[in-house]
Structure 1
């Protein structure tokens, strides 16, 4: 069962997903998975370092590319009839070129396939990122992944951690309150403080915030699909390396 699941997972390949290169299954119930080495750590570490090192920050184009890469990887998973189930900063890894790779997907079945390990098939993700319906049912679906991505996107753009709020407030409510008060500058992650309110990048940032709020709609049926999210994020920025599928003169970016 482990070999079958590992071989199936090894066929899932996308530029924004970590690729399973090999596996080992031997006595006594030893299971190893082999992935490409990602030298630039994960998104949680990257944001932490960016907030503490003078002069080293993530500018808006980098924020956008990270968000778009994660969305593309997750959209590909969904198109392959897979659900991630644990979207969070720690599961976004970076290669030598700082391109984002979504990791830790498809491992639920591998754990279940290992008889000596406790089953985690009912796991619904990490506290702070879990959708309301997944918390109630113990089941993750594509809509749950979209919710978790929305939380991650708001965290990426604002620099606020989901668990830093009180019991009566969360990052979604906080973002909505700042928007209602017109305190847009309060939303900016430290690396984005230099954004010009009159610039197109400011508008792109606001669109990113709105995408995050759409993803975290209370009703799962009101959330956009990951394919729709990629479409919206591609429209945030049009440049030589990112063609917007919203522009009829441009070819859609490959999945």
Structure 2
């Protein structure tokens, strides 16, 4: 009898140990089926209970959809009890891959979307600058992740320039210049003042948001990389970013540096001044077949002012505007070593007086 009792106890102990071991492994892998509480990164959210509505299955059903992108949808709502508008990005995560953030960025457990969430948390979840869009909170759900940001009522620079193009908005030169200075200031912080330095890797007008005062906020750090001082560049397995804003050396070598960000910024400067995007059909009709080479020809021509957005001409600022176009040319030099750094760019732009 004692033999059977011992046998039963041994089997039971083995089963319990097996269950506990599997639960522990699942916890470590991040597959443990639980709903994590909100991770708060900003004092603007004083209590995690303010985000408790995101724990409901129909959390977003009554919210206003304001945007849609490759990673998910963006909604707008008021932060309960704060009287402040917030933007909530919903990043859909298939249940089979709904992993918690692992310790290593390159872990095989992390798919593309999880790496992007991790990049957001490790950058704007941890640092603050007036020209960066801060991540306020992160909420994990079984099938998705919510990233909570300050709401920027003036939308993106891309939207603003499209509004100028169709006549629904006005962007005066002083405003455009101030936006350029703001982006440069944000880049200077990322590249030169923060340690480790951070390379954004996807600078473009759609990722520059405008606050209530039309101040620039660099956003969308999903592709951002932190670069230790001991390293000179980031090497990737494939080109990431947006066509027209990607530095040529990145295409050729898959190596990305802060000077690659400067190239993208130079294209943004050009877009601010000429009012055209790299993807515009206009550049397919030019001899150069591209914004950067077209800009170089125009700046060195006898009539460089012809490159300026017609809505900016005749306002008395042509001299300053042409200086900005020259800075755009410096930033988009083919050789990255010939491009200025972000501090130099910010200094050059701030020295241009209205």
TM value normalised by structure 1: 0.80
Task: Choose 1 or 2 for highest CA Rg.
Answer: 2
- The 1:235–1:31 alpha-carbon spacing in structure 2 relative to 1, beyond 3 Å, is same
How many angstroms does 1:106 deviate by?
4.8
Q: Which residue of 2 aligns with 1:45?
A: 159
- Partner of residue 193 from structure 1, selected from 297, 303, 313: 313
The 8 Å contact of residues 14 and 73 in structure 1, kept in 2 or not, is answered as yes
- The 1:20–1:211 alpha-carbon spacing in structure 2 relative to 1, beyond 3 Å, is same
State the distance in 1 between where 2:205 and 2:273 align: 12
Gaps of 5+ in 1: 110-119, 239-255
The 8 Å contact of residues 83 and 141 in structure 1, kept in 2 or not, is answered as yes
- Partner of residue 169 from structure 1, selected from 268, 289, 295: 289
- The 1:7–1:49 alpha-carbon spacing in structure 2 relative to 1, beyond 3 Å, is closer
> Does structure 1 residue 89 correspond to structure 2 residue 205?
yes
State the distance in 2 between where 1:53 and 1:24 align: 39
Alignment root-mean-square deviation, CA = 2.2
Decide which moves more: 100-109 or 174-183: 100-109
State the distance in 2 between where 1:3 and 1:97 align: 38
State the distance in 1 between where 2:224 and 2:346 align: 26
TM alignment of 1:75-114, pairs within 5 A: 75-79=188-192, 80=194, 81-107=197-223
Q: SS at the partner of 2:200?
A: coil
State the distance in 2 between where 1:163 and 1:223 align: 23
Q: Which residue of 2 aligns with 1:62?
A: 175
Q: SS at the partner of 1:85?
A: coil
- Partner of residue 266 from structure 2, selected from 150, 157, 172: 150
Deviations 1:17-68 (A, max 9, x none): 100111012424x2221110111111111011122227x4211111100111
> Does structure 1 residue 2 correspond to structure 2 residue 101?
yes
Q: SS at the partner of 1:162?
A: coil
The 8 Å contact of residues 91 and 104 in structure 1, kept in 2 or not, is answered as yes
State the distance in 2 between where 1:72 and 1:143 align: 15
How many angstroms does 1:95 deviate by?
1.3
State the distance in 2 between where 1:123 and 1:181 align: 33
The 8 Å contact of residues 262 and 341 in structure 2, kept in 1 or not, is answered as yes
Higher strand share: 2
Deviations 1:182-209 (A, max 9, x none): 112311113312233xxxx322111101
Q: Which residue of 2 aligns with 1:130?
A: 246
Q: Which residue of 1 aligns with 2:135?
A: 20
State the distance in 2 between where 1:46 and 1:62 align: 11
Q: Which has the higher contact order (CA 8 A, sep 6+)?
A: 1
The 8 Å contact of residues 147 and 217 in structure 1, kept in 2 or not, is answered as yes
